[in-house]
Amino acid sequence: MSRLKLDSLQPFTIQREGKDVKTVNGLRVTPEHSFRNCPGLQILMVPGGIGTRAEMKDHETLEFVKRNADSCELILSVCTGALVLAAAGLLNGKRATTHWAALKELRMFPQVTVDRLRYVRDGKIVTSAGVSAGIDMALYVIQELFGPSAAEDVARDMEYPVQ
C-alpha cells in the first residue's frame, strides 16, 4: 500500500509583511514568508475566520491572491476563506460553499453559485464549509493528488471517518 510522502509537499504560511498572526483564541502563528518574498505556489489555501471580513476588503491581499492564482494547480478555501476568493473575483461563474453562517454573505456575490455542501470543486478551486468540512476537503485533495490509499492512510492515522 502506497503511503503519502510528506516530503513531497512543502507547506508554509504567508502574511502580508511576514509578521506574527494572533488568532481569535490567542494562538500565535509565525509565517515563513511575506507577500513580497513568497516563493511560487502550487497550491494556495485561504483559511477562514473572523479576519476574512477585513481581508476581503484589503486591496493588497486580493491582489496577492489574484496574482498567484493563475500559476496554482489548486486553490483551496476553508470556511469563510471563500469570501476572500469571491472578493478577488476567483469564484465568478463558479460554484462554491462556505460556513453555514456566511452563506448569506457569499450570496452577495451574484456571479457565484452558492451550494450548501461540505465541499465543492469547480475547476481548480475547491471550497469547503466549516473546519471539519475542511478536513473532508483535504482528504479529497490528498486522494486527487496521491490516490485513494493515501487518503485512507491519512484518515486512519487521524482516526477520522471518511465521508
pLDDT digits (tens, 9 = 90+) for 125-153: 999 998 899 999 999 999 998 888 888 98
Judge if 84 and 142 occupy the same domain: yes
pTM of the entire structure?
0.90
Same domain for 125 and 67: yes
Distance of alpha carbon 95 from alpha carbon 57, whole angstroms = 21
- Structural domain of 113: 42-158
Q: Is residue 3 part of a domain?
A: no
Contact (Cβ atoms closer than 8 angstroms) between residue 95 and residue 76: no
Residue 74 and residue 27 share a domain = no
Q: Which residues participate in catalysis according to the annotation?
A: 79
The answer on 50 and 32 residing in a single domain is: no
Residue 25: predicted pLDDT: 85
Read off the pLDDT of residues 26-79 as tens digits, 9 standing for 90 and up. Answer: 899 999 999 999 998 889 999 998 888 889 899 999 999 999 999 898 999 999
C-alpha cell at 149: 490509499
Per DSSP bridges, beta strands 125-128 and 119-122 are: antiparallel
